[in-house]
Chains A and B, each alone.
Chain A
């Protein structure tokens, strides 16, 4: 379960270019929920994800994961509870290290790292099996440095790394946006399979309205740093792309009127 209570964040406070990123944002995601976050650029989607992962320190408000207040926890401590796939395939993997080493780092995300040898035969076999589920041939490239993989392969690896160990919360930050349509589809399908198989509580940011319609049981629309619209349950199941775009244009019209 994820809960955000009245999160506020302002950048460049007191300066001419002062900008409100999060404006009293509250959000609740039950265990097993798959929330899809949409909203125009600057609506606060990234700020919200960063606030959840700990990369952004809030001015006020709280973040709770499964009831525990994690607001004061640094990124590396929260990593024990949540995993994140970034938009940029470069960001989620260590390029100069091998596929197997990256898998090891992910496996140890929530564990105590010891002085025992990291890559042992048992682990290598397990990684091989998990990577073979992707069907990209990564299982035969365990010793390849990640920098030699394509963007799609890297992003698939990031995904496998993130869902391994069943994190309490999975954050997907436009994780298919940088990929070509076919690869994006492969990564998206793999995401859905993993989320459903492991029943992960997931929060996915996307600009793809079709994805927002097709996936998840809850759509959350952000605007000006707060939740403007939340659609769940039967209503979510019946929603179409034009409906969602309609909500966007209402907002745009209002912005025109305001200016």
Chain B
């Protein structure tokens, strides 16, 4: 009883901090979802684009640049990284996953080069979270408001975009690339743009994270992909993925729920080193579920994935 009470009270104390963190990391989940679901392009770039955004943002802030400008430039860097992954896949016919691994490995060196060392403190620099009116800077409330507002804006923009003529064409590339091409859609442009956009969101997540925690670290992306995937799976299990609004809401809902779950597990005394194993097993279970439901024999490929 005592243990339960301790767990619950320490969990509740962490809810606001975790919420702020999850709203920031929702951008990474978005950066994983867009290639995976909208373009049938499973992509690992975010593991490199997230710290890339963080490093770029950190260096620029340390140099005295405005926090918003630093985020925008980080976003641009992530966009370029995503474009590179898509280009490697399209031009050299390398599997999307391998293209992503190549990109994230190379990005590690690039990130180190950008910062010049493995971590960089930006503590004391002005962040966009300081701009929230009526709230004390540095507290989770200001982060929740700022990251939440950003998230809502991005959600609304994407929702509109994927229903426009251009956005419908981009979705067609994910649904059936051959058909899309036969309908006059430039598959290269849509893929490079889409994966680039995803890289930009991952990098934006990294930049926001650096401003939130006050330092940048080249290793900050370690394991972010599997966390993001787990969050996406949870989100899709809760809101579904049958329509564009649902599919777009899944990353946000998933991130919020997933990080609260993690926080609860930690509050309940789970050793932090075991977290990756638990997350991995959870993602595996979510991905394996459809084939287990079919009881007999290996499942037919559920996802259409580009070779």
A interface residues, Cβ below 8 angstroms from B: 53, 75-77, 79-80, 83-84, 90-97, 101, 104-106, 108-110, 113-119
- Across the A-B interface, give the 5 residue pairs with the lowest CB-CB distance, nearest first: A79-B184, A94-B175, A113-B165, A109-B184, A118-B168
- B167: interface (CB < 8 Å): yes
Check B172–A94 contact: CB distance below 8 A: yes
Chain A residues, Cβ within 8 Å of B180: 94, 105
Q: Name 7 extra pairs, CB < 8 A, besides A76-B184, A91-B179.
A: A79-B182, A90-B176, A94-B171, A97-B172, A97-B175, A105-B180, A108-B184
Chain B residues, Cβ within 8 Å of A104: 165, 168
Q: How far is the CA of A77 from the CA of B20 in the complex (A)?
A: 47
- Given known pairs A113-B166, A118-B165, A118-B168, the reply for A93 and B187 (CB within 8 Å) is no
Closest chain B CB from A20 CB (angstroms): 25
Q: How many cross-chain pairs have Cβ atoms below 8 Å apart between A and B?
A: 83
Check A115–B184 contact: CB distance below 8 A: no
Check B165–A115 contact: CB distance below 8 A: yes
Closest chain A CB from B178 CB (angstroms): 6
B residues 168-190 touching A (CB-CB < 8 Å): 168-169, 171-172, 175-176, 178-187
Count of interface residues, chain B, beta-carbon cutoff 8 Å: 23
Contact of A94 among B161, B179, B184 (CB under 8 A): B179
Main secondary structure of the interface of B (DSSP, over half): helix
Q: How far is the CA of A113 from the CA of B175 in the complex (A)?
A: 18
Q: How far is the CA of A108 from the CA of B170 in the complex (A)?
A: 13
Interface centre among A76, A84, A92, A110 (most CB of B within 10 A): A76
Check A92–B179 contact: CB distance below 8 A: yes
Encode contact with A along B194-232: 1 for CB under 8 Å, 0 otherwise: 000000000000000000000000000000000000000
Chain A residues, Cβ within 8 Å of B167: 118
Check A115–B164 contact: CB distance below 8 A: yes
Q: How far is the CA of A106 from the CA of B178 in the complex (A)?
A: 13
Check B184–A119 contact: CB distance below 8 A: no
Residue of B nearest to A90 (CB): B176
Check B175–A117 contact: CB distance below 8 A: no
Q: How far is the CA of A75 from the CA of B184 in the complex (A)?
A: 7
Closest chain B CB from A61 CB (angstroms): 22
Check B182–A92 contact: CB distance below 8 A: yes
Check B169–A117 contact: CB distance below 8 A: no
A-B contacts, 28 listed (Cβ < 8 Å): A53-B182, A76-B184, A76-B186, A79-B183, A79-B184, A83-B182, A84-B182, A91-B179, A93-B176, A94-B171, A94-B172, A95-B175, A97-B171, A97-B172, A97-B175, A101-B168, A104-B165, A106-B183, A110-B184, A113-B165, A113-B169, A114-B166, A115-B164, A115-B166, A116-B165, A117-B160, A118-B167, A119-B168
Chain B residues, Cβ within 8 Å of A118: 163-165, 167-168
Check B166–A94 contact: CB distance below 8 A: no
Residue of B nearest to A146 (CB): B175
Chain A residues, Cβ within 8 Å of B172: 94, 97, 101, 105
Residue of B nearest to A81 (CB): B184
Closest chain B CB from A39 CB (angstroms): 23
Chain B residues, Cβ within 8 Å of A84: 182
